[in-house]
Amino acid sequence: MAKLLLVEDDIKLADLTARFLTQNGFEVLQLNRAKDVQQTISNESPDAIILDIMLPDGDGFTICKEARGHFNGPILFLTAKDSDFDQVRGLEIGADDYVIKPVEPYVLLARLNALLRRTQAITASKDSLTLGKLQIDKADRRVYLGGEEVELTSYEFDLLKTLAAHAGETLSRDYIYKNVVGREYDGLDRSVDVRISRLRKKLHDNLEQPYRLITVWGKGYLCSKSAWE
């Protein structure tokens, strides 16, 4: 049974959401304020967090950014803020998905299950992927560049692992969404683009002219085989 932390100040909506998720096999912890979130994460170790942005004593963006210092599980924003700016900002600070209210309960459930399947998938092989100085430990889900560990979110790890496993090949957005995100690409979602940008920063790629994680315009993304020395 996966344990979820639901942070939502609309008590009626929170109760309905929690009841629905509980009926579908989850243990749900509820908070309606920002002040107790970090302590609850530390004490309860939830498997995933569903987070509103507008809270009476804080905002979800700040919570997400702080949580990423000690929580590597999926964070899903569930919010009425529907601007592209807010969606990109949420993804850039470490969220794994961004769902706009109102949403059908089974759509929310599907998005949540997709995140948990990706995060909780256990890699049987103990082998690591190595490209020059880039080492990806699949079993322990850790990444090292030049011997130094690179801190990645779960989403970023799975995206990098998929690209590195196909180094030298261009992977389409359709392929990436099906195999990393766990759903079909709708032609509008920018979460993969944002994650690629974050990975480039963390892996010391050239942000103006990337040579490690390369955009192949009109086709997708390519992880270089030879740019990791």
Per-residue model confidence as pLDDT tens digits over 185-197: 887 778 888 999 9
Mean pLDDT computed over 140-151: 90
Decide: 120 and 113 in contact? Cβ < 8 Å: no
- The distance in angstroms from the start CA to the end CA of the chain is 43
In this prediction, what percent of the chain has a pLDDT beyond 70?
Answer: 96
Mean pLDDT computed over 45-52: 94
* Range of lowest pLDDT (22-36, 116-130, 193-207): 116-130
3 state SS of 142: strand
Mean pLDDT computed over 36-57: 93
Residue 124 pLDDT more than 50? no
Residue 27 pLDDT more than 50? yes
Mean pLDDT computed over 64-87: 89
Confidence of residue 115 (pLDDT cuts 50, 70, 90): confident
The structural domains of the chain, ordered by start, are 3-120 (3.40.50.2300), 128-223 (1.10.10.10)
Residue 110 pLDDT more than 60? yes
Q: Which of 115-129, 150-164, 171-185 has the highest mean pLDDT?
A: 150-164
- Mean pLDDT, rounded, of the chain: 88
The H-or-E segment that residue 42 falls in is helix 37-44
Count of C-beta atoms within a 10 Å radius of residue 210: 19
Mean pLDDT computed over 34-61: 92
Give residue for tokens 């700040």. Answer: 62
Give residue for tokens 């992977």. Answer: 171
